[in-house]
Amino acid sequence: MSDSGEFKRDTEYIPDRITKDARKPEHGPVEGELWPVEPGRYRLVAAKACPWANRSIIVRNLLGLEDVISMGLCGPTHDERSWTFDLDPGGRDPVLGYERLQEAYLKRFPDYSRGITVPAVVDIESGGVVTNDYPWITHDFFFEWRDHHRPDAPDLWPDDLREEMEDVMERIYHEVNNGVYRCGFASSQEAYEEAYDRLFAALDWLEDRLSERRYLMGPQITEADVRLFTTLARFDAVYHGHFKCNRNKLTEMPALWGYARDLFQTPGFGDTIDFFQIKKHYYVVHKNINPTGIVPKGPDTSVWLTPHGRDGL
């Protein structure tokens, strides 16, 4: 948190990458170690409650990597120490044997003192965390694990759109993905209102963009859509009220709402969304915002299955 009350996200993640033959990648950080692509070696640890982890679940599904990279899911609530595997029998991940994700971090870095975040990729044999750098986890699922994609996997990073797509994703990250948190965790009126204005300016830009095209980059789904979707899926259920992002609801923005439903009804997207877990995470874990821990009963989630009318764009 800055002196002005602005929320500052800690973006210092474990910079290791998993690449084909542990090669140096063409894009992104190489400050950490390079690990080889190896089916069955790694376990993705995620949580359906978390939007950043939700991305990795969706991309893994879209690319057909379910039989290549196993997945463990943490429950929606956690304490200051770590996410836990309380959804599994006995409260332990059946592959790693851990009760807490923290154990994988400490297995590799005994003095690890930063946040224990999801998603994280864990080396099954050693039990140690490999990386928690979520933007590069999904990027590398596409570029480095290509030999293991299903035959009809979507091209999430079209070469001819990459430069524009990265600009779009950069704005979405700062103003929308992180923008809702900048609203919710602001500790001054000025910081909150500045974040609020930036968020809705970006949503208006997206509303205009999506009124003329089915997906963010045109007629096909890309990584940019995955990144925006996980925030939109949580907007009315959490961010509108809990984070005070209340100029309007998602359901009141015709293009964005139709777009969000279009993705929700696409295999690999909506089946990763658990509204109960999402609400429980935010309203129970954020005690400074919601000290009672009461989880709202609404909104009605059946509206996500109503016709979206986007097929013709």
Q: What is the pLDDT of residue 74?
A: 98
Nearest Cα to 117, choosing from 12, 248, 223?
12
Q: What is the pLDDT of residue 4?
A: 79
Instruction: Read off the pLDDT of each residue in 176-185 and give the average, rounded to a whole number.
Output: 98
* Domain 159-268: top CATH class: mainly alpha
Instruction: Give me the CATH topology for the region 17-148.
Output: Glutaredoxin (3.40.30)
Give the residue extent of every domain in the chain: 17-148, 159-268
Give yes or no for residue 1 having a pLDDT over 60. Answer: no
Q: Establish whether domains 17-148 and 159-268 are of one fold.
A: no
Query: Residue 307 region, left (φ>0) first, then alpha (ψ -120 to 50), else beta?
Result: beta
Question: pLDDT by residue (tens digit) across 26-61?
Answer: 998 899 999 999 999 999 999 999 999 999 999 999
Q: What is the pLDDT of residue 187?
A: 97
Instruction: Read off the pLDDT of each residue in 258-280 and give the average, rounded to a whole number.
Output: 98
Q: What is the pLDDT of residue 206?
A: 98
Instruction: Read off the pLDDT of each residue in 130-159 and give the average, rounded to a whole number.
Output: 98
Q: Which two tokens stand for residue 128?
A: 């140690």
So which residues are the catalytic ones? 50, 181
Q: What is the pLDDT of residue 248?
A: 98
Question: pLDDT by residue (tens digit) across 209-258?
Answer: 999 999 999 999 999 999 999 999 999 999 999 999 999 999 999 999 99
Angstrom distance (rounded) from CA 119 to CA 100: 13
Q: What angle do CA 133, 135, 138 make, to 5 degrees?
A: 105
Mean pLDDT, all residues of the chain: 97
Does the pTM exceed 0.75?
yes
For the chain, give the percent of residues with pLDDT over 90.
95
Phi, psi of 227 (to 5 degrees): -65, -40
Q: What is the pLDDT of residue 146?
A: 98
Binned at pLDDT 50, 70 and 90, residue 80 comes out as confident
Q: What is the pLDDT of residue 3?
A: 65
- Dihedral over alpha carbons 50, 247, 184, 13 (to 10 degrees): 50
Question: pLDDT by residue (tens digit) across 302-313?
Answer: 999 999 999 988
Nearest Cα to 311, choosing from 273, 243, 270, 259?
259
In angstroms, the Cα distances linking 140 to 162, 267, 305 are 15, 21, 31
Phi, psi of 123 (to 5 degrees): -80, 115
Helices (H), 79-188: 102-108, 134-143, 162-171, 179-184
Reported as type and span, the H/E element at residue 46 is strand 42-46
Binned at pLDDT 50, 70 and 90, residue 2 comes out as low
Instruction: Read off the pLDDT of each residue in 76-100 and give the average, rounded to a whole number.
Output: 96
Q: What is the pLDDT of residue 116?
A: 97
Q: What is the pLDDT of residue 29?
A: 85
Q: What is the pLDDT of residue 257?
A: 98
Angstrom distance (rounded) from CA 80 to CA 171: 30
